[in-house]
Amino acid sequence: MRSISQSMDEAVEGISVDLIDKIRTLLSQGKRVRYTLPQDGRLHIDRPLPFLCVYRRPAVGPDPGTDQLVTGEAAHLIAWGDLQYKSILSTLVKTITATLAEQFNAFLIIEVWTASAEPASNAKLVGLRPGFKIITSHVRPPTSTIEALAKALRRVKIQREVATVEIIDRKKRSPTAMPMLVSSVDARKLNCYVLGLEIAPIYQNSKSNDIYPMVLRTLHRGLARAFRRAFFDFSQTQTTYRPPNYLALGRRALVKSVWNVDKQLAEISNAFEFLLQVTPVNPELAWRQFKRQRFEQPPIFYYRPLPVDPALLKRKLFRVSIERVEDPTLAYLFREKRHELDRQLTMLSDRGSRRFLYGSLQLFGGVS
């Protein structure tokens, strides 16, 4: 059987008592937990941390893209929200909570779900405004953590629209059709704080049940930053855990997909020497001819033969599965590198033409 510390998820047929005991043991030993659960669920705990992001898929109706909003977190649980799983899922979450709260003196659960309001249609895509509702309890709320989360969420922008954030006191901090995984009574016993985060599903198309990938990507990055700021505040104010800054609360273990993407991009980048290929081989001769013609005719430059076919490399470049990278920061860096390589390959094809200038401006910007 594959070790749970390896990059691939260990698939299980069901959430059993034995599995929960194994997870408790692994967390107590400070080890990583990564399981594929039934119904496309997943439990990922990069290392023992005093928090957990939870998302439960609705038993009825689609909710495309929402699970991606938590997969970049160092500790997250994705599960099916059907009531038949409620009892064992609750036991799993309470076991994780009890184990880690004992290590850190407190534990925070943030459960994410989408608002019941109709998502925006294609016609209303322009000017979308992200919206969040932080659901908390008036009994022992982690006030500074809520404020840190709200402040970070207000910085989220989609197409220049600033997010709206509401803070709501409510006893039930879970999706409408689902019970809480940890009751208020159990939460007090375990010194656990439970927050709900309701998100306006502006990244969903209600007519086709598709997603707007660019909107989802931007929202994911902003939400990941907000989560980590909230987790950092909670760690500093409620627990014994002392991360140096909020950026230290991201994922550390890199799964196989990250290494594959990095390797493929590196291979494409190393397939050609950009500066060498765009540098003329006859600069002195071209200058003398240009001067001899009294600067009236543009010089003629010659370049080295290309060792690659830019079109074939581009095809390979866009086959790299960056969308499989769960961490939003790493995915952003990989997309930026792909964008750079795409521009460079275009410029190689445009050597000796006016299009080369415009490609250079796109890649490097104008002269300051």
Do 205 and 118 form a contact (C-beta atoms < 8 A)? no
Total-model pTM: 0.81
Do 246 and 231 form a contact (C-beta atoms < 8 A)? yes
| pLDDT exceeds 70 at position 120 | no
CA dihedral 2, 8, 14, 15 (to 10 degrees): 100
Which residues partner with 162 through β-bridges? 157
Q: By three-state DSSP, how is residue 178 classified?
A: coil
Q: What is the pLDDT of residues 285-309, one digit of tens each?
A: 999 999 999 898 888 999 999 999 9
Q: How confident is the model at residue 119 (pLDDT cuts 50, 70, 90)?
A: very low
Domain range summary for the chain, segments of one domain joined by + = 10-253, 257-364
Domain 10-253 has CATH 3.40.630: yes
Q: What is the pLDDT of residues 224-246, one digit of tens each?
A: 999 999 999 999 999 999 999 99
Establish how many alpha carbons lie within 13 A of residue 250's alpha carbon, considering only the half-sphere containing its beta carbon: 16
Residue 220 to residue 77: CA distance in whole angstroms? 16
DSSP string, 305-320: PPSS-HHHHHHHHTTS
Q: How confident is the model at residue 117 (pLDDT cuts 50, 70, 90)?
A: low
Residue whose C-alpha is closest to residue 51's, from 306, 208, 184, 250:
250
